[in-house]
Structure 1
Amino acid sequence: MNFSLVFLLFIVLFIFLSSFFTVKQQTAVIVERFGRFLSIRHSGLQLKIPMIDRIAGRVNLKIQQLDVIIETKTKDNVFVKLKVSVQFMVVKETVYDAFYKLEFPHDQITSYVFDVVRAEVPKLKLDDVFERKDDIAVAVKRELNEAMTTYGYTIINTLVTDIDPDIQVKNAMNRINAADREKTVAEFEAEASRIRIVAKAKAEAESKRLQGQGIADQRREIARGLVESVDVLNGVGINSQEASALIVVTQHYDTLQAIGADTNSNLILLPNSPQAGSDMLNNMVASFTASNLVGESMKKNIKVIPKKEKPKSEEPGKPSEEDEV
């Protein structure tokens, strides 16, 4: 008697507790009655009739992601693997369609992604696949939205997250990129070398110009100083030839003094005897005097020969005596 009562109480408690159930946030629960759709329950504490109503399934309302890897061929016959990430979710208002119309949503999405990618990529070359991956993603999203909306799903975003060509093609691309970068480096190095050469040439040209200008200024000042020195010596009764000789001898001794002041000089000036200066002066004066004597003698030997005029006849038209002879 007591055992039957306990069992009955247990059955009543079980039935009472099975009348309640909870639904988590971002989840929808499908309730059926005798195998027929009854209602959709959302988050919170829910009530159903025990033994009559049952939970047919739960639908996740969160954003989900499905990664699909597709291998296909490009327009230039290069096999490439693409990883497409599809972000999707079930719309709250279309939970019924998502639960009853489509049983395996992941397989359905994968099939559409394969179909779109294998239709778009063979139209592009390998380089274009990298550059236009966003266009491929947009095409996948557009096709999926048109197909999955019927089943209560919405596509949030599609991303081409990885493009992996064949290993041999990848190595060839790396070699091409390395060669291009080496070419760029060589061009920059050549341009830098050209700039250095041009700058050096300009600097040398400017240095030569300034050096020539300095030498010209120096010689101009030396000539001016020599003229002034000759004028001063002429004022004290020394003629130009003797003054020139004296200046040359003075420069000779100045040169000897400059050479002697440099301890590291190995220059030898010939002649370098004590009487070299006086000999140089005497020779210069003698040469100037001899040149003057030669010039004067040449002037004296030059004679002016007058031109002999031809006698004129006394009457015009009448031949002269010489003509008659």
Structure 2
Amino acid sequence: MDILFAILPWVAIVIVALIIFGSCIKIVPQSRAYVITRLGRFLTVWDEGVKFKVPFVDRIVKNVSLKEQVVDFAPQPVITKDNVTMQIDSVVYFQITDPKLYTYGIENPMSAIENLTATTLRNIIGDLELDQTLTSRDHINTKMRALLDEATDPWGIKVNRVELKNIMPPRDIQESMEKQMRAERERRESILQAEGQKQSQILVAEGEKQSAILRADAAKQAAILQAEGAKQAKILEAEAEAEAILKVQQATADAIRLINEAAPGQGVLTIKALEAFTAAANGKATKIIIPSELQGIAGLAAAAKTVFDTEDPKATITKTVPRQ
């Protein structure tokens, strides 16, 4: 028992030492930063990782988040250049870039940012009229971000964006704006209706135009086909006539060839000549030349008399002299 009582104080001392040692080991999470002082004086800034501080000497005075933060401020009354009072609420997106300046640069950073935002907003809106305020949100946001970022830089804060959530004019101005918007919508609706009617008329006229073009094109094609048909008919008729003439000539040639192949005698030739003379005498010739070979034919006088009785009295018969 004496040994146990002797050991207990040392065990207690070891346990206390372990507790103190464990409390001096710190693990800094990512996107966080610890501001460390030693004996009340700034020492360093811990980033993520395992850190060790001296017991009873070092102290963590600030646990700072390095993530982007958002603060939404209540609506602020502002007055425009044309003396219109309105309520505007804004949202500020900021990030702590220097934990030391953020800890020692200003006492209450959030309150300072809110007051600075309200002051900057009043200054900017005071230089704008109501219509400009309602239509220049991007310009106001950009200008406010630049001014706030410059003012908060000594505090270790970077302002990334500033957004105006709502711009609320007085009630009477809102009613006037609603009437104006309603009139503008009605005007646009009238314009759209007129444009629709115009487009409808254009489409009707275009349809009639296309229909007339198609009718004219159909008539043109019909005329072309009719002319083509007449042309083909004439071509076929000419080809038929040419073929008929060709066949007659071919028949004549075949007849002559057959006669030549048959070697006709003088009597046959004389008879054929007489037939040709008779055909010529039936015409209207005023002068007929009679071959000497036909003068001896018994019917020559009668044929000649018929010619002189039916034709021109001045017609003459010429005798051909036989070749020696």
Shorter-chain TM band? 0.5 to 0.7
CA distance, structure 2, for counterparts of residue 164 and residue 174 of structure 1: 13
Q: CA deviation at 1:10?
A: 2.3
Q: Which residue of 2 aligns with 1:139?
A: 143
Q: CA deviation at 1:200?
A: 9.9
Q: Which residue of 2 aligns with 1:157?
A: 161
Q: Which residue of 2 aligns with 1:43?
A: 48
Distance 1:44 1:131, change over 3 A: same
Give the match's secondary structure for 1:87.
Answer: strand
Q: CA deviation at 1:187?
A: 4.6
Return the letter of the residue paired with 2:129: K
CA distance, structure 2, for counterparts of residue 195 and residue 135 of structure 1: 40
Q: Quick check: 1:7 aligned with 2:12?
A: yes
Return the letter of the residue paired with 2:76: I
How many residue pairs were aligned? Answer: 202
Cα distance per residue 1:34-72 (max 9 Å; x no partner): 111111111111101112211111111111112223221
Return the letter of the residue paired with 2:88: L
CA RMSD of aligned residues (A): 2.9
Give the match's secondary structure for 1:137.
Answer: helix
Q: Which runs of 5+ in 2 are unaligned?
A: 208-324
CA distance, structure 1, for counterparts of residue 198 and residue 37 of structure 2: 85
1:44-63 matched pairs, under 5 angstroms: 44-63=49-68
Q: CA deviation at 1:20?
A: 0.5
CA contact (8 A) 1:116 1:139 kept: no
Give the match's secondary structure for 2:55.
Answer: coil
Match 1:176 to one of 180, 190, 201 = 180
Q: Which residue of 2 aligns with 1:76?
A: 82
Return the letter of the residue paired with 2:46: R
Q: CA deviation at 1:79?
A: 2.4
Q: CA deviation at 1:145?
A: 1.8
1:306-317 matched pairs, under 5 angstroms: none
Q: TM-score, normalised by structure 2?
A: 0.56
Q: Quick check: 1:107 aligned with 2:111?
A: yes
Larger radius of gyration: 2
CA distance, structure 1, for counterparts of residue 200 and residue 11 of structure 2: 105
CA contact (8 A) 1:60 1:90 kept: yes
Q: Quick check: 1:87 aligned with 2:93?
A: yes
Q: Which runs of 5+ in 1 are unaligned?
A: 204-325
Q: Quick check: 1:186 aligned with 2:166?
A: no
Distance 1:180 1:22, change over 3 A: same
Match 2:122 to one of 105, 118, 122 = 118
Q: CA deviation at 1:181?
A: 1.8
Distance 1:194 1:145, change over 3 A: closer
Q: CA deviation at 1:189?
A: 4.1
Q: CA deviation at 1:137?
A: 1.2
CA contact (8 A) 1:84 1:159 kept: yes
CA contact (8 A) 1:67 1:85 kept: yes
Q: TM-score, normalised by structure 1?
A: 0.55
CA distance, structure 1, for counterparts of residue 33 and residue 45 of structure 2: 7
